[in-house]
A and B are shown apart, each in its own frame.
Chain A
Amino acid sequence: MKLLVVEDDETTGSYIARGLREEGQTVDLVTSGRDALIQATSTTYDVMVVDRMLPEIDGITLVKTLRGAGNKTPVLFLTSLGSVEDRILGLNSGGDDYLVKPFAFGELSARVAALARRPQALEQETILSAGDLSMDLIAREVTRAGQKIDLLPREFALLEHLLRRKGRVQTRTMLLEAIWDISFDPMTNVVETHISRLRAKIDKPFDTELIRTIRGAGYRIDA
Chain B
Amino acid sequence: MALLRSMPFRLAMGLVALFSVVSLISLAASYVVTQRSFDQAMRADLMQDMAGFRAAPTAAALAALVEAEARETDPARMVLSYSAPGLGHFGNAMIARDDDGYRIVSVTQGNAEIDGRFLSLTASLWGGQLTVARSRGEIDALRDVFLNILALSLVPTILIALSGGLYLARRSARQVRIIGKTLDQLTSGNLAARVGPTRGWSDDLARIGEKLDQMAEAQETSVAAIRQVSSDIAHDLKTPIQRVAVHLDDLLRQDDLPDRAVVLLEKATDQLDGVVSVFHSLLQIAQIETGSPRNQFRAVDLVELARTFCEIYEPSASDKGQHLVFIAPDAPSLRVWGDRNLLGQVLANLIENALRHTDAGARIEVGLRHHGQSICLWVADDGPGIPAVERDRVLRRLYRLDRSRTTPGNGLGLSLVASIAALHQTKAVLLDNGPGLRVEITFAEVQPDPASVPTASAPISAKIEDL
A177 touches B280 (CB 8 A): no
A186 touches B243 (CB 8 A): no
B316: nearest residue on chain A (CB-CB)? A193
B77 at the interface (CB under 8 A from A): no
B69 at the interface (CB under 8 A from A): no
A117: nearest residue on chain B (CB-CB)? B466
A12 at the interface (CB under 8 A from B): yes
- In the bound complex, what is the Cα–Cα distance between A78 and B277 (angstroms)? 17
List the A side residues contacting B284 at CB < 8 Å: 82-83
B339 touches A84 (CB 8 A): yes
**Smallest Cβ distance from B12 to chain A, in angstroms?**
47
A181: nearest residue on chain B (CB-CB)? B463
B173 at the interface (CB under 8 A from A): no
**Smallest Cβ distance from A29 to chain B, in angstroms?**
14
**Smallest Cβ distance from B467 to chain A, in angstroms?**
5
A44 at the interface (CB under 8 A from B): no
Interface centre among B239, B249, B295, B311 (most CB of A within 10 A): B239
- In the bound complex, what is the Cα–Cα distance between A154 and B355 (angstroms)? 22
B341 touches A80 (CB 8 A): no
List the A side residues contacting B467 at CB < 8 Å: 120-123, 164-165
B345 at the interface (CB under 8 A from A): yes
B231 touches A104 (CB 8 A): no
A53 at the interface (CB under 8 A from B): yes
1/0 contact string of A100-134 vs chain B (CB within 8 Å): 11111100000100110110111100000000000
B344: nearest residue on chain A (CB-CB)? A182
Interface centre among A97, A177, A190 (most CB of B within 10 A): A190
Interface centre among B280, B312, B319, B466 (most CB of A within 10 A): B466
List residues of B (428-457) whose CB comes within 8 Å of A's CBs: none
Q: A174-B464, A177-B462 are in contact. Are A188 and B355 (CB under 8 A)?
A: yes
List the A side residues contacting B384 at CB < 8 Å: none
**Smallest Cβ distance from A209 to chain B, in angstroms?**
19
A98 at the interface (CB under 8 A from B): yes
List the A side residues contacting B409 at CB < 8 Å: 187
Q: A102-B245, A111-B464, A177-B463 are in contact. Are A88 and B238 (CB under 8 A)?
A: no
A180 touches B308 (CB 8 A): yes
- In the bound complex, what is the Cα–Cα distance between A121 and B466 (angstroms)? 7
1/0 contact string of B111-138 vs chain A (CB within 8 Å): 0000000000000000000000000000
**Smallest Cβ distance from B241 to chain A, in angstroms?**
5
A78: nearest residue on chain B (CB-CB)? B242
A188 touches B239 (CB 8 A): no
B246 at the interface (CB under 8 A from A): yes
**Smallest Cβ distance from B131 to chain A, in angstroms?**
102
Interface residues contributed by chain B, number (CB under 8 Å):
52
A194 touches B315 (CB 8 A): yes
A183 touches B462 (CB 8 A): yes
**Smallest Cβ distance from A28 to chain B, in angstroms?**
19
List the A side residues contacting B464 at CB < 8 Å: 97, 111, 114-115, 174, 177-178
B352 touches A92 (CB 8 A): no
B48 at the interface (CB under 8 A from A): no
A187 touches B460 (CB 8 A): no
Q: A85-B293, A177-B462, A182-B344 are in contact. Are A190 and B312 (CB under 8 A)?
A: yes
1/0 contact string of B258-287 vs chain A (CB within 8 Å): 000000000000001000110010011001
B287 touches A101 (CB 8 A): no
Q: A118-B465, A123-B467, A165-B466 are in contact. Are A104 and B245 (CB under 8 A)?
A: yes
A9 at the interface (CB under 8 A from B): yes
B292 at the interface (CB under 8 A from A): yes
List the B side residues contacting A122 at CB < 8 Å: 467
Which of B242, B272, B308, B315 sits near A193, CB closer than 8 Å? B315
Which of A12, A85, A190, A194 sits near B296, CB closer than 8 Å? A85
A21 at the interface (CB under 8 A from B): no
1/0 contact string of B289-321 vs chain A (CB within 8 Å): 000110110000000000010011101100100
B348 at the interface (CB under 8 A from A): yes
**Smallest Cβ distance from B340 to chain A, in angstroms?**
8
B176 at the interface (CB under 8 A from A): no
B246 touches A12 (CB 8 A): yes
- In the bound complex, what is the Cα–Cα distance between A70 and B421 (angstroms)? 42
List the A side residues contacting B242 at CB < 8 Å: 9, 11-12, 101-103
A102 touches B466 (CB 8 A): no
A80 touches B234 (CB 8 A): yes
Interface centre among B293, B311, B340, B345 (most CB of A within 10 A): B311
List the B side residues contacting A1 at CB < 8 Å: none
B342 at the interface (CB under 8 A from A): yes
B235 at the interface (CB under 8 A from A): yes
B110 at the interface (CB under 8 A from A): no
List the B side residues contacting A101 at CB < 8 Å: 238-239, 241-242
B340: nearest residue on chain A (CB-CB)? A181
**Smallest Cβ distance from A203 to chain B, in angstroms?**
16
B466 touches A188 (CB 8 A): no
**Smallest Cβ distance from A120 to chain B, in angstroms?**
8
Q: Can you list 29 A-B contacts (CB < 8 A)?
A: A9-B242, A11-B243, A12-B242, A15-B246, A53-B235, A80-B234, A81-B235, A82-B284, A83-B287, A83-B293, A84-B293, A85-B292, A85-B293, A88-B296, A92-B460, A97-B464, A102-B276, A103-B245, A111-B464, A114-B466, A117-B466, A118-B465, A165-B467, A184-B345, A184-B348, A187-B413, A189-B316, A190-B313, A190-B315
Question: Nearest 3 A-B pairs (CB), nearest first?
Answer: A193-B315, A114-B466, A80-B238
Spell out A's residues near B (CB within 8 Å): 9, 11-12, 15, 53, 80-85, 87-88, 91-92, 97-98, 100-105, 111, 114-115, 117-118, 120-123, 154, 164-165, 168, 174, 177-178, 180-184, 186-190, 193-194, 196-197, 216
